[in-house]
Amino acid sequence: MIQVKDKTFETYITEEALRERVNILARQISEDYGGKTPLFLAILNGAFIFAADLLKQVAIPCEISFVKVASYHQMQSSGTVTELIGLTENIAGRPVIILEDIVDTGITMEQILQAVQAKEPESVKIATLLFKPDALQKNIQLDYVGFQIPSRFVVGYGLDYDGHGRNLPHLYVLKE
Ligand code: 5GP
């Protein structure tokens, strides 16, 4: 059991189990993208450890770019506009793989997807370390999923609680 700020968490998925699963995803991606040079788009901050561990095991030529997502409400029209900050690569005509830490309601991922698709890549696939199927509200296809988990709050391996805990090597779940 560990303490992050005012909350208590217990070990949920160990560093070893995470690495094993991430290596399998890397192998799968390497097979699926044989002969191609995919561009990985890692979503900061949460996906930084997942991206690093995954990329070390990707055995085909590839590039990686780290982007932040900024969402804001437009004054004139309805809806939210999502911008990818830090995306300097031209992704038009390229196979893109989005790397995310967790998909919960899917609202964030749907917006990221729209922002990426607007730049006309050859293809877009999604790799997420974690997926909470019970919370999903959007119809999005997750191509590579590390672990399906129940709707409980997790921290560690890149994911934070109020800015803390990203450095923890294992994944922890909030103690109920
Ligand atoms: P969604 O838009 O899919 O509801 O939410 C995705 C975002 O919510 C993730 O990128 C992450 O920042 C945050 N999130 C959802 N569930 C968790 C969780 O269990 N732990 C942490 N640390 N963040 C979460």
pLDDT of residue 28: 98
Burial class from Cβ neighbours inside 10 Å (0-12, 13-18, 19+) for residue 29 reads buried
CATH number at residue 111: 3.40.50.2020
Domain count of the chain?
Answer: 1
Query: Catalytic: 6?
Result: no
Shortest-distance Cα residue to atom 4 of ligand 1? 105
Name the region of 35 (left: φ>0; alpha: ψ -120 to 50; beta: rest). left
Containing structural domain, residue 51:
2-174
Q: Is 103 in the pocket of ligand 1 (CB under 6 A)?
A: yes
- Any idea what the Cα angle at residue 140 is, between residues 32 and 48, rounded to 5°? 65
Residue 81 has pLDDT above 90, yes or no: no
> What is the average pLDDT value for the chain, to the nearest integer?
95
- To the nearest whole percent, how much of the chain has pLDDT over 70? 97
Confidence of residue 160 (pLDDT cuts 50, 70, 90): very high
